Structure formats: C-alpha cells, structure tokens
Amino acid sequence: MLFNRKFWGLATATAITAVVISLVGTIFGWRSLVLLFDRHTLIDFFAPENNLENSASGAVLSTSLFMAAHVVANAIGIPGTLLVVVGGAVYGLWWGTLLSVMGATLGATVAFWLARYLLHSWFQKRFSHRPILKRLNQTLCKQGLSCVLLIRFSPVSPFNVVNFALGLTPVSARSYALGTLIGIIPGTMAYTWLGVTGTEALHGGSWWPLMCCLMVLMLLAGLPIWIQRRSPRH
C-alpha cells in the first residue's frame, strides 16, 4: 500500500478538523452578516476609543488591531476570509486589500515556521520515502515559487491548511513568503471588494456590484484548474 492506515487516519483527522473549522466560520459569518457589513460598528470595534476617520492615533490603533487579528488567526489556523471582507467594509478596497495582504502573509509565515520547526523533521523522516511525497519534494525544490503562486492564486484553496502543509515540505521560506505575498493579492482584493459592495448593497445601494464581485470570485476559483489543463503535459 502506498500509505499505511496510520497515515490515512492522520489525514482523515486533519481533513475533518479543517472542515469543522470552516463550517464554524461560515455559520458565524451568516449569523453576523449585518454586523459584518456595518462599517460604523466595525470601526468602533477596531478603535473603540478613537474616531478612525478624524484621528491619526485612532487609525494607527485600528489598523494595528486589524493586522494583529489577521496574524493571530492565520497563525493558529482560524479561517481569515471574514477578516478580509471586514477589511473592505471598514477600510475600503485599496487600504483593505493592503492591510489584509500584509496581515495574512505575516500570519501565514508564522504558521509555516511553526510547522517547520515542530513537525518537518518527523514528517520527512516518516513519509519522505513515499513516491508521491518524493515527487512533491522534488517539484517544490525546483519550482517552489511557481507552485506556491499556483496554490495561493485560487481564493478557494484551504489557506490555513496550506500554511502548515507547506511547512512540512522542503520549499524554501523565501519562495513560500514571496509566493504567498503575491499569490493572495487577487483573491484578497476580490474578497475585500465583496466587503465594499456588500456594505453598499445592504445600505440601500445597487446590488449589481455585489453580483459582479461574486462572479469574479467564481472565475478566480476556476482559473487555476483552467491553467493546469492548458499547460503542456510531459
């Protein structure tokens, strides 16, 4: 057998954990939909003692709390999609995207190093002789940046699972960090735009921008599959 029962047990437990976390995040998001797009409530949460729009110190506090939330969420494996949408509702498209990309990249890097220091040696020693993992290791060593970019480019890829999983591989930290920083920009901008358009729609604006945003997210989700099918097979 390619993988023994212990491996499949570990893989199943990991998959179930990831699904449960994602479902909890999704349920929480739907129940808090109004709060999620309520810009003034969110501003009060991120900067309770300052007015973000009129105070420089309030802006610093708000953005610091927002980025810290991103770092902590990604470092401990909590889905950060809701935070990205919140960023659009609070900060707008450009600042929301910038802050989310920076915070998510920092948090993803922390998760990567946690996995690398705590589990990398054990994982490679136990499973590196498997043919599939051998090929994966070779690919990541030769084309690490390209692989990370392809994975990160899809906004529906399991971001937190990838953070820890790549820490178990020999991909270089530089390729991982750079690929993450660049690769999450399209998806992050799309979800930030979702926050912007959702705020407008729920406060009496047009629903068409929101519909367009959802279409863009679906296109981005399918683009990596299209690229893979179009790439030449050797």
Q: What is the pLDDT along the chain (234 residues), one digit of tens a residue?
A: 444 454 444 444 444 444 444 444 444 444 444 454 455 555 566 544 444 455 566 677 778 888 888 888 888 777 778 888 888 888 888 999 999 999 999 999 999 998 888 888 888 888 777 777 788 888 888 888 888 888 887 655 678 888 888 888 888 889 999 999 999 998 888 888 888 887 777 666 666 777 776 777 777 666 656 666 666 654
Asked if residue 115 is part of any domain, the answer here is yes
Please provide residue 67's backbone torsions phi and psi, each rounded to the nearest 5 degrees: -70, -40
- Please state the domain count of the chain: 1
Using CB atoms within 10 A of its CB, is residue 66 exposed (0-12), middle (13-18) or buried (19+)? Answer: buried
Q: Rounded to whole angstroms, how far apart are CA atoms 123 and 10?
A: 12
Asked if residue 152 is part of any domain, the answer here is yes
Q: Which two tokens stand for residue 120?
A: 């990398």
Asked if residue 3 is part of any domain, the answer here is no
Q: Rounded to whole angstroms, how far apart are CA atoms 3 and 180?
A: 29
Asked if residue 6 is part of any domain, the answer here is no
- Residue 86's CB is within 10 A of a number of other CB atoms, namely 27
Q: Which two tokens stand for residue 167?
A: 């820490």
Asked if residue 17 is part of any domain, the answer here is no
- The pTM of this model reads 0.68
Asked if residue 9 is part of any domain, the answer here is no
- Containing domain of residue 102, as a range? 25-229
Asked if residue 55 is part of any domain, the answer here is yes
Asked if residue 98 is part of any domain, the answer here is yes
